[in-house]
Amino acid sequence: MTGSQTQWWTTDGAPPRVATPAPDPAAGPASDRAPDHAARTQPPSRRDRRSGRDRQERERQEGRRRTLVVTLVVLALLGGAGYVVASLLAGDDEPAGTQAVRKVSDFSGPGHGSVRVTIEADSGAAAIGAALVEAGVVADADVFAEVYTSQDAGEIAPGTYELALEMSSADAVAALLDPASKASLTVTLPEGLASWQILAKVSEKTTIPLADLQAAAQDPEAIGLPPQAGGKVEGWLAAGTYEVPSDAGAAKVLGQLVARTVKDLTDRGVDPDVWQSVLTKASLVQREMTVDSTRATFARLIENRLEKERPLEIPATVSYGAGTTSPPTEAMRADTGNPYNTYVNLGLPPTPIATPGAASLDAVLAPADGDWLFWTMVDAETGETVFAVTYDEFQEMVAQIDAAKDE
């Protein structure tokens, strides 16, 4: 076959047999019939048209179904995303058990590893819980606070503690109440101590070698000593209670003491230019007066003597310069080689002679009003002291005191 028709072949290579349709007797002679191709181009029958319309309708319905399915899937995805966002925004407002677990409210067990946490003085349950959460010890500050307050097992002392990471709140409370967990040592320094006494006490309480503390005391930069001190730590090692980390070195410990003195002066609004003189005067008040009620009066007496350029004649300064805590002898009072001998030298001694307390600092900053120049202690046990303006008045008071002792 030739022309535009395609040749189709059987599998055995022979041309296919084509059945020739028998002539239709009713159609008349072959010469009177239209060619075969004309029959193929006739308009489709009604049945064919109906079948085509049904097929198109089915295709349109299938298309609508596919569109509906895609739309539903997209809406479902959007709805799911919206639920997640709403759930996150709702947070803890959702009823218990209806929201996915998004954060751990409490760890379980004793934890792992170790971390140091410092509990500041006067910290409440909430503040302690916040410090523990920040350090990674407990999961939730509120849960910790609830556990702590419900146990009523005592107060957690300030200090530095060695704790595990990711502890349960109950285990954290137990550890904080156990003295063995403390990673710091408590050192209490009384008021009125000289620097060498302070260094000895710090060494005793912390096991830091005394030689290391003495070396640190001579390194102003290492301990943050202000230039006003002239390189001398006397008077700058503040009294008080300190939590000292067990691994702290000498410079760090002394730096804590110096920093507190600077803070005490700054908080009182003292001009840095007079820091040293204020500490020196306060140290004299501290060592000579033993009760607070007499400190402001003695602070005024010091100012009066300085203004009149009279020797201060304070026994405690002589003893300090002589390296003793005992009352000075007459020979010690006459020693002109002692720079701290305020019987023979005018003005303030070269440095403070002790660490002053808050009451002595306040007395120097706000001395009492009066013209006192003389004083004498009536009773060493009670600290009772009397003051006089003139020497004659002073002599009369001394005579009365002596007479009372003889009775």
> What DSSP line would sit under 142-173, residue for residue?
HHHHHHHHHH---PPPSEEEEEEES--HHHHH
Q: Which two tokens stand for residue 392?
A: 């004659």
C-alpha separations of 187 from 200, 217, 257, 266, 289 in Å = 12, 17, 11, 24, 25
**Residue 325 belongs to a domain:** yes
Domain contains 307: yes
Q: Are residues 250 and 327 in the same domain?
A: no
Q: Exposed, middle or buried, 266 (CB in 10 Å: 0-12/13-18/19+)?
A: exposed
Cβ atoms of 327 and 339 within 8 Å: the answer is no
Across the chain, mean pLDDT equals 82
Structural domain contains residue 67: no
Residues 292 and 244 placed together within one structural domain of the fold: no
The token duo for 407 is 């009775």
- CA atoms of 395 and 407, how far apart (whole Å): 19
Final residue before a domain boundary, out of 181, 197, 222: 181
Question: How many structural domains does the chain have?
Answer: 3
pLDDT at 140: 95
370 and 321 co-located in one domain: yes
pTM (global) more than 0.85: no
Same domain for 305 and 336: yes
The lowest-confidence range among 25-39, 79-93, 138-152, 163-177 is 25-39
Judgement on whether residues 118 and 207 belong to the same structural domain of the protein: no
Question: Is residue 23 over pLDDT 80?
Answer: no
Torsional sign, CA 91, 93, 99, 102 = positive
Picking from 162, 181, 200, the residue at the C-terminal end of a domain is 181
Provide mean pLDDT across the span 373-393: 92
Structure tokens that stand for 283 in this block: 């140290």
Query: Are residue 172 and residue 189 in the same domain, yes or no?
Result: no
Asked if the structure places residue 333 within a domain, the reply is yes
177 and 194 inside one domain:
no
Q: For 99-108, 111-120, 209-218, which range has the lowest pLDDT when averaged over its residues?
A: 99-108
Place of tokens 């009149």: 308
Question: Comparing C-alpha atoms, which of 304, 189, 281, 209 is closest to residue 249?
Answer: 209
Please say if the pLDDT value at position 101 is more than 90. no
Mark whether 168 and 216 lie in a shared domain.
no
Q: Work out the percent of the chain whose per-residue pLDDT is above 90.
A: 59
Secondary structure tally for the chain: helices H, strands E: 15, 6
pLDDT mean over 39-57: 54
Same domain, 294 and 402: yes
Q: Considering 181, 206, 232, which residue would you say is the last residue of a domain?
A: 181
Looking at the predicted structure, is the pLDDT value of residue 26 above 70? Answer: no
Do 324 and 235 fall into the same domain?
A: no
Can you give the residue range of the structural domain that contains 130? Answer: 112-181
Is residue 252 located within the same domain as residue 297?
Answer: no
